Amino acid sequence: MNKVDRRVLKSQEAIKKAILELMAEKNFDDITIRDISNRANVNRGTIYLHYMDKYDLLDKIIEEHISNLRELCHSASEMTFQEGNYVWFEYFADNHLFFSTMLNTKSAAYFRSRFLDLVVQEYKVEVDVTEGKNQGLSEEVILQFFGAAVVGAVEWWFKNGMPLPPRVMAEQTGVLLDRNF
């Protein structure tokens, strides 16, 4: 297994943090590699050593978080919605800069779409339209409805400065999901 040098990890984390901070301050299109390198206190060449451009950098950050959320879903597969949601909301809180930036800026549409796709994908196994309270309903409508609700609740939480602790958000969204699945 390849071990990554701590200096490389430190540089990559500084670069990721820099672009997110800059996105909170200005439009993504207006951010330059020079802006990122200055904020991260690294040479421009260091950025290009790890990323093709700012789009590749942002895409890799998004993919990292989507992948982490997917892993959390799989590790929480035997949990109730409340317990599983708590794992997610703790992750959201621990990665506040990323999620608040991605859900509160004008350049967030791509991430929101990826996040919604992930939520829909993960809830797909929970939907049963052959019997029970969802019998006869369109599976796709149910998934889009609840996916949008979950993403909307997370957006609301960040836009309002996380007014409730992660556990309360997890419990309340979990109860709502349990009522309908």
Contacts of 26 (CB under 8 A, 6+ apart): none
Angle at 108 between CA 177 and CA 104, to 5 degrees: 75
* Residue 178 contacts residue 81 (beta carbons within 8 Å): yes
Query: Which position has the token pair 């802006």?
Result: 35
pLDDT > 90 fraction of the chain, expressed in percent and rounded: 65
Burial of 14 (0-12, 13-18, 19+ CB in 10 A): middle
Taking 90 as the threshold, does the pLDDT of residue 67 lie above it?
A: yes
> Which SS3 state, helix, strand or coil, does residue 145 take?
helix
- Residue 23 CA to residue 83 CA, distance in Å, equals 32
Taking 70 as the threshold, does the pLDDT of residue 114 lie above it?
A: yes
Q: Phi/psi at 76 (nearest 5 deg)?
A: -100, 15
* Residue 21 contacts residue 15 (beta carbons within 8 Å): no
Alpha-carbon distance values, 70 to 50, 52, 123 (Å): 24, 25, 11
pLDDT at 8: 87
Domains of the chain: 1-51 (1.10.10.60), 54-180 (1.10.357.10)
In this prediction, residue 121 has a pLDDT band, given cuts at 50, 70 and 90, of very high
In this prediction, residue 129 has a pLDDT band, given cuts at 50, 70 and 90, of confident
pLDDT at 5: 84
pLDDT at 1: 53
Q: Flag the least confident range among 68-72, 83-87, 93-97.
A: 83-87
Taking 60 as the threshold, does the pLDDT of residue 113 lie above it?
A: yes
What string of H, E and C letters represents the secondary structure of 122-163? HHHHHCCCCCHHHCCCCHHHHHHHHHHHHHHHHHHHHHCCCC
